[in-house]
Amino acid sequence: MEGNPPKPFELTNGNPPKEIRERVRLELNSGHAVRLWDATYRSRIAKCPVFLVTKPNYLQLNNPPQLRDTDMLEIFGKIPATLNPPEITGEQFNLLKQFAVG
């Protein structure tokens, strides 16, 4: 997007999508890889122009609590799908939040 250029390759995770890796020898042309990588994002933006930004209710990256099967059964009554999570109730959300903060 205008005013939001891609970062240099050195500031990425160094692992562009397979299609880009197949087209570009990264060690020789990382700039070309970044341009192709950015183009894939731009095409995705054209298809889905809305991007929602939210603030976390709880964030603990260094030592996060482990949500075990028994915890999920207690909160949801079953083990919910995680690849495409279902809508949860306000009560379930509050139970998850209580679990997270201890």
Domain boundaries along the sequence of the chain: 9-47, 69-101
> Residue 39's pLDDT band (boundaries 50, 70, 90)?
very high
Looking at per-residue pLDDT, the higher value among 26 and 48 belongs to 48
Looking at per-residue pLDDT, the higher value among 22 and 70 belongs to 70
> Residue 91's pLDDT band (boundaries 50, 70, 90)?
very high
Q: What HEC string does the chain produce?
A: CCCCCCCCHHHCCCCCCHHHHHHCCCCCCHHHHHHHHHHHHHHHHHHCCCCCCCCCCCCCCCCCCCCCHHHHHHHHCCCCCCCCCCCCCHHHHHHHHHHHHC
Residue 70 has pLDDT above 90, yes or no: yes
Residue 77 has pLDDT above 90, yes or no: yes
Angle formed by the axes of helices 69-76 and 90-101, nearest 10°: 150
Nearest C-alpha neighbor of 96 from the set 71, 69, 78? 71
> Residue 27's pLDDT band (boundaries 50, 70, 90)?
low
